[in-house]
Structure formats: C-alpha cells, structure tokens
Chain A
Amino acid sequence: MAPPLVALLVFADPSTAPAGSSMPPRRHVVKISGMAFQPAVLQVAPGDTVVWINQDIVPHTASAAGSDGWDTGILVQGDSSRYVPRRSGDTPYICRLHPTMRGGLTVTGRPR
C-alpha cells in the first residue's frame, strides 16, 4: 500500500534531492525568548536566510564567535535581524549582552 502523501511531504529530505536539482532558499526563524535561542542549534544550507526575532523584554544580540564576524547588533523586543550564510561550516554564537546565552549555526549541503 502506498504511504500517505502527508508522510512523503514531512519526511522528504532536501539533502537527498538528485544532483543538479535546484532547491529554493529557505527561511529559518530563531526565536529569542526566555533568555535562550530557540532552536539553540540550527542547520541550514548556504543561501538560506536565518532570522532572529527578539521576543524578550530585555535586548539581545546574536553574535558569531570566531572569524565569521556576523552580528545582528542589538535587538530590542520585537526587533528582528536576518543573515544569509554563503559558506559551509559550524559557527557557535552568543548574545554579547548575556554571554551565558549560546547558540550554534551549522551551514551544510548544496548552496540554494
């Protein structure tokens, strides 16, 4: 019996798409809420867009550690900032104002 269509949609993995196929860029949202990045670790493809949205009362940043150097700047409640990674790699990041807040961005796969 053929699996239900909905199951095919949920479990279709873009990384298994045939070579030469062109996947449109995706938009990923990281909520900053309760003094945490949600999700704390995010995996995206080069060319995808990552959007951080601060829902906390206090200001935050999402700031790359290491040589990548990307930084959202200070986001007050309701602010958002986006970043489009172009190179593969793992980048840990923090909130510069609250260094106990940590996140990770993994860029992997075929560019979109």
Chain B
Amino acid sequence: MPAVTTAYPSSPEAPMSQSTIRHLLAVLLTFATSTGLHAQAPAPDLSDPEVAHVAVTANGIDVELARFAQTRAHNDAVRQFAATMITDHTAVNAQAAALAARLGVTPTDNAVSQSLLAGATEARAALEPLHGSVFDRAYMDREVAYHQAVLDALDGLLIPTTSNPDLRTLLVDVRPAIAAHLEHARQIRRSLGSER
C-alpha cells in the first residue's frame, strides 16, 4: 500500500495549488487499479466497509470545515455555501449511517480515510490565520479543489470498487450533489475575484 502523504497545502498564500490537487488525486487514484491509471500500484483492496468509511470521512471533513467557515467568512454567499455544506453532507452521512445499520456493516478505517483527515488538518491550519475576503477566497479555492477531488474519487475509486448494490446506489445518488456543490463553489469563487 502506498505511503499516506499530505494532500493539502501548508501555505496560506497557496491554499490549493494545481500541484496539490494533482497530489490529492494521485493519492486517491493510486488505490484504484480498476481505473487502469496506475497498473503498477498495489491493489487497492478497499472493502465495502472501507469505502463506507471513506465516504463518511469525506462528508464529515467538509462539515467541520464549513462550521469553521461560518465563524470566519465575510461574504454572504460564502456563509450560505458553508451552511449548505453542513446541511447536505450531514444529510448524506445520516443516510450512510442508516444504510450501514441496515446492512450490519461497520465502516472501517483505512489509509484513504487517514489521508483525507491528514489533509483536512492541514487545510484547517492553512485557513486559520486568514480573515475577511482573503479567507473567503482561500476557503472557496479549497472547496472547489476538494469537491473536484471527491468527484474524481467517486468515479475512479469508490463507485467502481463497491460491490454492495445498496452502498453503490448511495454513492451514485450522492454524485450529482457533489457535482452541484462543485459548480456552485466555482461560481462563488469567480464572483470573489482574484485579489488577495
């Protein structure tokens, strides 16, 4: 199994660079032999309980950062976006928990989840010193990159490797929400301009 490395920037001046995005995708996709992109990599060996854990972790990370953003964001649209992230990702996790209970599955921690959590810690640290419009732009940069990475992970890793039909259906049902969040985040980010 590949080493788990950080997926997010540590510099407030570069909250989510292209190289960071590529790095996050590489971490996720290295597990996805089903994509054929990393044929030389070890088999992903993600069980359904591990896929469930990744999904729950990814949702939880965005809820936590959105709670922080609500205390820090300056722009109304950014604050509303953060509120929507809390509502939506909480709803998804409630469905995931209900499904896991119904299936008798306990989500199992794994390297992908750990990588996501490590990245979330760094993302929070990078945003911590920022305020006002600088924070708004950095947070929305991060949300754009994060939802793109989650979308790619759904397509390249989570959905293809899930064998349980109910869990797969949940992931497929969640995908349009992630895509809509990504587009919404891009619109807000564009409206904020490029000044720092």
Contact = CB atoms under 8 A, between A and B. Distances in A.
Interface stretch (A9-17, A80-88, A94-102, A104-112): A94-102
B173 A57 contact: yes
Interface string B92-133: 100100000000000000000000000000000000000000
A73 interface: no
B91 interface: yes
A56 interface: yes
A100 B95 CA distance: 23
Interface size class of A (residues with CB under 8 A): 10 to 19
Contacts, number: 39
A58 B187 contact: no
A36 B184 CA distance: 14
Nearest to A95: B180
Q: Which of A34, A57, A101 lies at the interface centre, i.e. has the most chain B CB atoms within 10 A of its CB?
A: A57
A62 to B, nearest CB: 15
A76 to B, nearest CB: 8
A3 to B, nearest CB: 42
Interface of B is mostly: helix
A53 B91 CA distance: 17
A57 B177 contact: yes
A58 B183 contact: no
Interface in A10-65: 34-36, 56-59
Interface string B164-184: 000000000110110111011
Interface of A: 34-36, 56-59, 76-77, 97-101
Given A57-B91, A57-B174, 10 more contacts: A35-B177, A58-B87, A59-B91, A76-B91, A98-B84, A99-B184, A100-B180, A100-B183, A100-B187, A101-B180
The 7 closest A-B pairs by CB, nearest first: A58-B88, A35-B176, A35-B180, A34-B176, A100-B183, A97-B84, A58-B91
